[in-house]
Structure 1
Amino acid sequence: MQLIFLGTSSGTPTRRRNVSGLALSLRGGRDWILVDCGEGTQHRLLRTPLSTQRLQAICISHVHGDHCYGLPGLLASAQLNGRTAPLSLIGPASLWDYLQGVIASTALHLDFPLHFLDVDRVPAGLEIGGFGISAWPLSHRVPSFAFRFVEASVPLRLLSGRLERDGIPRGPLWGALQRGESVQLPDGLCVDGADYTRPAWRARSVVVGGDNDCPDLLGEACSDADLLVHEATYDEEIRVRIGPEPMHSSAARVAAFAERRGLPHLVLTHFSPRYQKGGGRGLPLARLEQEARERYSGDLWLAEDYDCFELDRNGRLQHSNLLR
């Protein structure tokens, strides 16, 4: 499972960071899903191996501009590049109103079907791009959501010892059982593939949160999750100084939640532009990292644009950056 961060800044871009965008895919496959699409996201894609032709779904957490202003341009470019395959769009109902307004006022024409799913009504069992997708409401100034992505098609492994013990002959019967089918044996007995198979590995799961001032709302969504990606717009001191109105989380709040839930991996993102790596003229980004590490003992990362994270089948998270 692969995650590529296309933008990690909150509100406005900086010289180092674009606004929100995250690409998610199953390693080895070209199909992918986009979570949020801030202005300039399509420019970030130009320096990745991702193609809008293989984009399967766009999930928009909420309608603030730093999460959705890049959507019309990305769709227009997909059209100009010859896309014809259907594309799913998941987000709040107001997102569709916004997009229809842009289409009507700019004569944007799309030759490919755009299937909109209201995030409040995501059907159970929704599967797109190799992932099972569910949505979870958060707390923000406008309706905001997190998305949970679970690997949907883990291959089955045959329990050969059990098959041999029960005298089931090798050959086509084993193949059918490995596909999870029920088969009839030569003696007339019917057996079920579920009794002779196990998943080859545990399905991996990632939770990606939109803007949210209450990480505890993700308790159920994070059950058995391998990785949480969540905004950490401020450090706790700045959050208290600004007051509750922006309705964002601090690194301290998210880290404490991840520790309580026993999450093995945490990636923080969506940093206020006031924080700069190395300090510069702003606050040092190390403030966020320090307060998170004081509260979380797991594998912690502060995302940068073009960071690429690989979650392997054993639940290990590996990091690289596409520009280095």
Structure 2
Amino acid sequence: MKLIFLGTSAGRPTVARNVTAIALIFPEHQHRFWLFDAGEGTQHQLLRAKMKLNKLERIFITHLHGDHLYGLPGLLSSRTYFEGAGKLHVYGPPGLRAYLECVMLQSGAHLNYELEITEIEAGPIATGDEDFAVEADELVHRIRSFGYRIVERQRSGPLQLDLLAQRGIRPGPLYGRLKRGEDVVLENGETLRASEVVGPPAPGRIVAILGDTSPCEAAVRLAKDADLLVHEATFGTGMEEKAADYGHSTILQAAQAASLAKAKRLAVTHISARYDEQALAQQISEVRDVFPNIEAAFDFLELILPPH
């Protein structure tokens, strides 16, 4: 499981940074991926990252500002040309359906796959995915903006191969049943309980990806104990008043949210064009005493989330 940042600029693209889009990739599931926001030019970024739209299964839009949304219609249209592109689920705030229906109607776009649009509210999102649960909560911004919490479901523990060998049980179908937590009856009539030969279950990974937001309780709730928090940091430390005026956060406020949530790792994004890389690095170093495991995202940065 890994994240790729496809755009990390705030408001408008720069030479070095495109506007917001993040891909969450599942290599263990044929490299299928989910997309969080789709600013203008996102499909170009996907091409550069060598990612195919027929592997895209779900899109989550945080809010309807253009730097998070204007790349979506073109991306949906281009997906038509990818062989094997199945049903696509798109989630986002109220108003998303009207926006997409208007663009598609007025442009005469035709999709050769099923598109399902779900307008969300705060709370669990019924994605139907067996491996991950998704929850949304409303943040504080100039328009309605949401954050998403993605929780991998608990995975079964490892088989204790040495114990199975001692019992004379060779690799085969019984291994799979035991791994799934099923008790099995052996050839001698003895019942072997899965709990005897399977280790404790492993907790799933947690990722929190937030839309534009001022500091708020919802951001901390979504990021609670997260393996990775992705938080906007449009402004540098010391510009908290201006950040509040525009419904954004500073790098310091993002670090404080990660600390309050007891997140393990923080990546800040949505960086204002006023900061060059040297200034950004300085800002990051100044907040490490608040949250040490922080880094500034840049376009095409890949963050690996190993299993627990």
Category of TM-score, reference length = shorter chain: 0.7 to 0.9
Cα contact 2:243–2:250 (8 A) shared by 1: no
CA distance in 1, matches of 2:142, 2:277: 28
Shift of 1:228: 0.4
Shift of 1:121: 6.8
Cα contact 2:233–2:268 (8 A) shared by 1: yes
CA distance in 2, matches of 1:47, 1:191: 51
CA distance in 2, matches of 1:221, 1:25: 20
Greater mean alpha carbon deviation, residues 96-105 or residues 154-163: 154-163
Of Structure 1 and Structure 2, the greater strand share is in 1
Greater mean alpha carbon deviation, residues 127-136 or residues 40-49: 127-136
Shift of 1:200: 6.4
User: Which residue of structure 1 lines up, in the alignment, with residue 277 of structure 2?
Assistant: 277
Where 1:80 maps in the other structure, the secondary structure is coil
CA distance in 2, matches of 1:197, 1:126: 30
Equivalent positions of 1:69-108 (< 5 A) are 69-82=70-83, 84-108=85-109
Shift of 1:188: 7.4
Shift of 1:18: 0.4
User: Which residue of structure 2 lines up, in the alignment, with residue 312 of structure 1?
Assistant: 306
Where 2:287 maps in the other structure, the secondary structure is helix
Residues 98 and 191 (structure 1 numbering): CA distance in 2 closer, same or farther, change over 3 Å? Answer: farther
Residues 199 and 76 (structure 1 numbering): CA distance in 2 closer, same or farther, change over 3 Å? Answer: farther
Shift of 1:97: 1.1
Residues 266 and 84 (structure 1 numbering): CA distance in 2 closer, same or farther, change over 3 Å? Answer: closer
CA distance in 1, matches of 2:210, 2:122: 18
Matched, 1:292 2:293: no
Cα contact 2:243–2:249 (8 A) shared by 1: no
Aligned residue type for 2:283: L
Aligned residue type for 2:151: V
Aligned residue type for 1:292: V
Compute the RMSD of aligned alpha carbons: 2.8
Where 1:286 maps in the other structure, the secondary structure is helix
Cα contact 1:31–1:129 (8 A) shared by 2: no
Which of the numbers 290, 303, 312 marks the counterpart of 2:297?
303
Aligned residue type for 1:293: R
Equivalent positions of 1:252-263 (< 5 A) are 252-263=252-263
User: Which residue of structure 1 lines up, in the alignment, with residue 10 of structure 2?
Assistant: 10
Equivalent positions of 1:207-222 (< 5 A) are 207-222=208-223
Report % sequence identity: 36
Cα contact 1:83–1:112 (8 A) shared by 2: no
Aligned residue type for 2:237: E
Aligned residue type for 1:72: P
Cα contact 2:153–2:203 (8 A) shared by 1: no
Cα contact 1:215–1:249 (8 A) shared by 2: no
Cα contact 1:56–1:128 (8 A) shared by 2: no
CA distance in 1, matches of 2:89, 2:99: 16
Greater mean alpha carbon deviation, residues 82-91 or residues 224-233: 82-91
Cα contact 1:234–1:249 (8 A) shared by 2: yes
User: Which residue of structure 2 lines up, in the alignment, with residue 319 of structure 1?
Assistant: none
Where 2:158 maps in the other structure, the secondary structure is strand
Shift of 1:192: 5.9
Structure 1: give runs of 5+ residues left out of the alignment: 279-283, 315-324
Aligned length: 306
Equivalent positions of 1:1-324 (< 5 A) are 1-28=1-28, 29-82=30-83, 84-120=85-121, 123=124, 126-128=127-129, 130-152=131-153, 154-159=155-160, 172-184=173-185, 193=194, 196-198=197-199, 201-240=202-241, 242=242, 244-278=244-278, 284-297=279-292, 299-314=293-308
Shift of 1:308: 0.9
Residues 259 and 140 (structure 1 numbering): CA distance in 2 closer, same or farther, change over 3 Å? Answer: same
Residues 9 and 243 (structure 1 numbering): CA distance in 2 closer, same or farther, change over 3 Å? Answer: closer
Give a deviation string over 1:202-230, Cα, whole Å, max 9, x none.
32111111111024323332233111010
Give a deviation string over 1:248-306, Cα, whole Å, max 9, x none.
0111111012123332211000011111223xxxxx22353134324212x21100111
CA distance in 2, matches of 1:38, 1:199: 42
Cα contact 1:93–1:118 (8 A) shared by 2: yes
CA distance in 1, matches of 2:174, 2:53: 41
Structure 2: give runs of 5+ residues left out of the alignment: none
CA distance in 2, matches of 1:152, 1:109: 36
- Structure 1 length-normalised TM: 0.84
- Structure 2 length-normalised TM: 0.88
